[in-house]
Amino acid sequence: MAKVIYPGTFDPVTNGHIDVVKRAIELFDEVIVTVAKNPSKTFLFSIEERLEMLRESLKEFEKVKVDWFDGLVVNHAKQVGAVGIIRGLRAVSDFEYEFQMALMNRKLAEDITTILLMPHARYTYLNSTIIRNLAQFKGNVSEFVPPIVNRKLKEKFGY
């Protein structure tokens, strides 16, 4: 059974993330969407809130599980028995960083392969920072995020 992880901070999850998950489940038997717990970063949503939003957003996909990790992503991949790490690639500007991370991960764990998947073109400009900034100023983000995320952003920013 070919299992992969799709790690990220997902603060918050966007429709672009969901699109990458959909692409991954076409290729693999199981996709574990895993939230990075990074104490050096400041997040809008707690890890519990991010897990809740992911679980709700991905509940229709039987081949998807939601998890979290603390530490190196390759160690998490090994712990869950994954053969690969899915990464979303939106634009050429993402490539250099993702390429460097893929090479480092290969150095740390030769048996774990990084797979770069591109979302649909309509999501290539989306990222969580843009969504947070738009929502902070009461912009309509409903077409860019799952319904639970839209609701949680409105609650977080008081509108």
The number of angstroms, rounded, from the C-alpha of 98 to the middle of its chain's C-alpha atoms is: 14
Nearest-CA neighbor of 70 among 7, 16, 1, 148?
7
The dihedral through the CA atoms of 23, 28, 30, 36 has a sign that is negative
Catalytic residues: 17, 41, 90, 128
| Alpha-helix residue ranges (DSSP H) falling in the chain | 15-27, 47-57, 73-80, 92-108, 128-136, 147-157
Both tokens of 151, joined, read: 């609701």
* CA dist list (Å): 3 to 32, 77, 92, 158: 8, 9, 27, 39
The dihedral through the CA atoms of 49, 53, 59, 64 has a sign that is negative
